[in-house]
Structure 1
Amino acid sequence: MPIDDRKQRVLRAIVSLYSDDGEPVGSGLLAEHFGRAVSSATLRNEMAALTKLGLLEQPHTSAGRVPSAKGYRYYIDNLLDTSLKLSESEKRAAEQAFREMDYDPERLAQSAARALADWTGYTVVATTPKSEDMCIAHFEVMQVGRYTAAVLAVTGAGGVRTRTAKLDFELRPGDAERLAQTLNEHLTFRSAADVSQPLLHAAAEGMGAGGAVFYPVISAAYTLLKEAGRPNVYLEGQQNVLGYSPQEECLRTLMEFFGDEEAVKRFISPKSERTTVLLGDEMPEYRMPGVCILSKRYVAGGGLTGAIGIVGPTRMRYREVIPRLEYFALLLGQCMSGKTEHGQRQEE
């Protein structure tokens, strides 16, 4: 949709002014924004033309205008300056936040989501790296109850997962160690697709006569292997939704969306390296006018990728929020792959 330069400048100004206080923008305020270089009458004509094009809306009987969903999409695709970067002081603040985080992948993703939610004032979603070929690098087994054993698995990406198994008897001295040895012999450095039920039963039989009684522990280890390649989803700052007060119906839909983990993963999984901006009006399953989702992929090393996204109002300050999201994605990927913000390997 080609529009002339002045209409573009008017639309860009209205998006900026509306993001400041959420109030409809009138021609008088717009004239002040342009330093009175353009008359209010000319600006009213331009606003009327943009409204006719569907890029602006006139809410209620107000004389002011607000950007429509179509107007925001035009602004994002054509007028938003994507070259903006964080200041050095903002970068240092983000880097300091990451230095204080636990570098286990699951805890790191959750901590990064919480820190970005605090910084932006919006809801943040982060996923752990996803890989169909994720494997377990090491298993440990320990007794945690009279009839309960805990299986601890270290993934190939450095994450730690645990699962408990119920047994019909008390583990004897040496059983946990032998179980760990069996799991490491049969289930490490294999993808879930490479593991068959006969292999699991063979692993149990490898425990010696009566080894089948240990099958619950081996089954728990297999479950951890299947789950290893599935990304975990962490949602932080849901209470921040109240700060921009979406309409009641939209708020209800937003809460339903937050409760649908599969939908959340799908909508914050960018198909390219670019930051994706999805407007709530463009989501057929969860239509949420006035809401948008920004998402950015991060690279965790070894071909593994995850995502971090921001859920906030359509009128958010994109010029400020997008650079923060992109720098967090960069730092999150570096930390996941064991590198500092300067690209150096962390000290062991």
Structure 2
Amino acid sequence: MLTERQKSILRMIVDDYVRSAEPVGSRTLSKHVELGYSAATIRNEMADLEALGYLEQPHTSAGRIPSQAGYRYYVDHLVSQDVALRAKDIEEIKQLFATRVSAFEQAAQQVAHVLSSLTQYTGVVLGAKVYDTTLKSLQLVPLSGQSAVVLVINSAGQVQNKTVTIPDGVPMHDVMQLTEMINRALCGTPMYRIRSRVYEELMREVARHMEDYEEASRLLDQILQVTEEPQEPNVFLGQATNMLLQPEFQNIHKAKSVLSWLEKRDEVLVSLATNALHGDLRVRIGAENEVESLQDCTLITTSLHIGQIPIGVVGVVGPTRMEYGRVIALLRTLSSGLSDVYGRIYSGHSSG
């Protein structure tokens, strides 16, 4: 348990180091009027904080820098929860959301770009394709008298397939007719709306044309389950090379490791999706990241929602020496705005 004096000193060291990227000494801290402690007192407290694992001394004669444990304590206990955004930040965000967009992809890419621009780190957005893809075609290929493969192709070019059982009461000519009815009525329909459109528009036609309505409905339900299979999300990156602007990544080995990870969209996707499972806001610092390439980085993420349904993630990748309060405030503001945009696009599709 840290004393109030130790908390004040740790907070000041983190804030100074984030601004300067230079180790912080006791003499420098003693010049902060708000601390009100002598250099000798600060030096003793810094030695205790180092012994507790919250500070590190990179060189024998240098000042101290926060350790990863120090950053964790800062984020959990000391960072301001109501950081006021800068006027230019607010203006850029206003301009972003004043621009009308009609596609999830466009909105996500713009947010990733603005987040990178405002933080000078790398903004990342994970959004599900299911909200922005439509049915291109559905095929049902018979394998035997009792089974067939359903092939679903969407507008993103993804193909999903699954073997279904053809009920006894559904002859093959009804199977082919059902496939034609689906394509005729549902091609161009957003994937998330297919089941509701079937119940709104197709069931009466099924009842009129199928010999055994109940068995045909069972087959139709199997087909609908294929259209509802989870689809691979999109990963949108802001300026990945922003990492090279940070002093920590002047080391070419560190820089290449992080940039290489950012290029592997599947690994980025897993890290973002894993973070999303742990609540609306998550801060993973250094070794808390499971990915080796991020051992010197912080990954902060927050969830995107349509209503109460989580549909994506927006986040920032940067050095552990990060402006945590401001980044968290930006993420909350941008995630709220992007969730609202997604909701409007979703509503527009639903009413279309």
| TM-score exceeds 0.5 | yes
Paired residue secondary structure (2:292): coil
Q: Which residue number corresponds to residue 254 of structure 2?
A: 250
How big is each residue's C-alpha offset from its partner over 1:257-308, in whole Å with a ceiling of 9 and x where there is no partner?
A: 2133232123223234442111122223325343111111111347242001
- The one-letter amino acid of 1:335's match is V
Q: TM-score, normalised by structure 1?
A: 0.70
Q: CA RMSD in A?
A: 3.9
Paired residue secondary structure (2:31): helix
Between 97-106 and 112-121, the greater mean CA deviation after superposition: 97-106
Q: Which residue number corresponds to residue 331 of structure 1?
A: 337
Paired residue secondary structure (1:127): strand
- The one-letter amino acid of 2:290's match is P
Q: Which residue number corresponds to residue 45 of structure 1?
A: 44
- The one-letter amino acid of 1:326's match is R
CA distance in 2, matches of 1:311, 1:37: 35
In percent, how many aligned pairs have the same letter?
A: 31
- The one-letter amino acid of 1:237's match is Q
Distance 1:139 1:3, change over 3 A: same
Q: Do structure 1's residue 63 and structure 2's residue 59 form an aligned pair?
A: no
The Cα of 1:79 is off from its aligned counterpart by 1.2
- The one-letter amino acid of 1:71's match is G
- The one-letter amino acid of 1:10's match is I
The answer on whether the counterparts of 1:136 and 1:190 sit within 8 Å (CA) in structure 2 is no
Paired residue secondary structure (1:37): coil
Distance 1:256 1:185, change over 3 A: closer
CA distance in 2, matches of 1:227, 1:114: 30
1:189 corresponds to which of 188, 191, 194: 194
Q: Which residue number corresponds to residue 146 of structure 2?
A: none
Structure showing the higher helix proportion among its residues: 2
Q: Which residue number corresponds to residue 269 of structure 2?
A: 265
Q: Which residue number corresponds to residue 230 of structure 1?
A: 232
The answer on whether the counterparts of 1:95 and 1:331 sit within 8 Å (CA) in structure 2 is no
CA distance in 2, matches of 1:20, 1:190: 53
How big is each residue's C-alpha offset from its partner over 1:124-174, in whole Å with a ceiling of 9 and x where there is no partner?
A: 11011377xx79665589xxxxxxxxx995xxxxxx63579xxxxxxxxxx
The Cα of 1:120 is off from its aligned counterpart by 1.4
Stretches of structure 2 lacking an aligned partner (at least 5 in a row): 139-151, 160-179, 197-223, 346-350
Equivalent positions of 1:1-348 (< 5 A) are 2-34=1-33, 37-86=36-85, 90-100=89-99, 102-129=101-128, 139=136, 161=156, 181=184, 184=187, 189-190=194-195, 225=227, 229-245=231-247, 246=249, 247-268=251-272, 269-301=275-307, 303-338=309-344
Stretches of structure 1 lacking an aligned partner (at least 5 in a row): 142-150, 154-159, 165-176, 192-221, 340-346
CA distance in 2, matches of 1:37, 1:179: 75
- The one-letter amino acid of 2:289's match is M
Q: Which residue number corresponds to residue 201 of structure 2?
A: none
- The one-letter amino acid of 1:318's match is Y
- The one-letter amino acid of 2:156's match is R
